[in-house]
Structures are given as C-alpha cells and as structure tokens.
C-alpha cells in the first residue's frame, strides 16, 4: 500500500443500503490502519469529505492513519460545496493540483 494513494469519493463503500455501505467503509479503514505498509496518502473528494467529520465513524480511523504519518487530505472545492470546513476533525484541506501531483507519483486506489 505504500506506493498507493487512496481516493475516497463517497461516505460509504458500494451502492445500496447506506448504513451497510458506511459500515463496510469503516471496516476497510479499520483493517487498513492495522497494516504495516500504509498508503502514501488518502484524498477525500465529493461526499468523501464527510468521512473527515465527526458525523462519520471513519474519521476516527483516518485521524489514526494521519497520526501514523499518512497524509489525509480533503478537496477544498468539495469542503466548500458541502460547507464542512468547521466540521473537519481529521485531515487538511488541499486542492486538485496536489492530488494530480500525487496521482502522477503513486497508483490511485478509488474507494466509492
């Protein structure tokens, strides 16, 4: 995973029942943070920025990944659109140009 950037474009994993999708996404990050080989970065865009707020249990895991040295980022345009800047409890705001830089260096794994 160290040569990957995870792109989180939703606050749930998969289509279907919202509660199930949120639980599956939380399980993904619970297991990811237990690995020794962590991703280079996690970039949240669109509804994925909600995973960085306290309204999502995923935020706890993203904060722990951040503390372990994983760069956790939120798309500025998306944060502004959803008006969640004051609600972010993990990650830092970044722009699309930086994501493009990351994508040019690392393989992108999209979670949606």
pLDDT the model gives residue 91: 96
Residue extents of the structural domains in the chain: 4-110
Q: Three-state SS string across the chain, please?
A: CCCEEEEECCCCCCCCCHHHHHHHHHHHHHHHCCCCCCCCEEEECHHHHHHHECCCCHHHHHHHHHHCCCEEEEEHHHHHHHCCHHHECCCEEECHHHHHHHHHHCEEEEEC
4-110 CATH fold: Hypothetical Protein Ychn; Chain: A, (3.40.1260)
pTM equals 0.94
Which percentage of the chain shows pLDDT scores above 90?
95
Please report which confidence band the pLDDT of residue 1 belongs to, taking 50, 70 and 90 as the band edges: confident
Per-residue pLDDT, 99: 95
Compute the radius of gyration of the chain from its Cα atoms: 13
pLDDT tens string 2-49: 899 999 999 999 988 999 999 999 999 999 999 999 999 999 999 999
> Tens digits of per-residue pLDDT, 49-81?
999 999 999 999 999 999 999 999 999 999 999
Q: Is the pLDDT of residue 109 over 90?
A: yes
């Amino acid at each position: 995973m160290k040569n990957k950037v995870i792109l989180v474009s939703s606050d749930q994993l998969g289509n279907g029942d919202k509660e199930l999708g949120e639980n599956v996404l939380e399980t993904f990050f619970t297991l990811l943070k237990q690995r020794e080989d962590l991703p280079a970065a996690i970039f949240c865009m669109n509804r994925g920025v909600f995973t960085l707020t306290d309204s999502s249990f995923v935020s706890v895991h993203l904060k722990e990944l951040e503390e372990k040295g994983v760069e956790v980022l939120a798309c500025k345009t998306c944060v502004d659109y959803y008006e969640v800047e004051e609600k972010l409890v993990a990650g830092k705001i970044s722009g699309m140009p930086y994501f493009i830089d990351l994508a040019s260096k690392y393989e992108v794994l999209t979670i949606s």
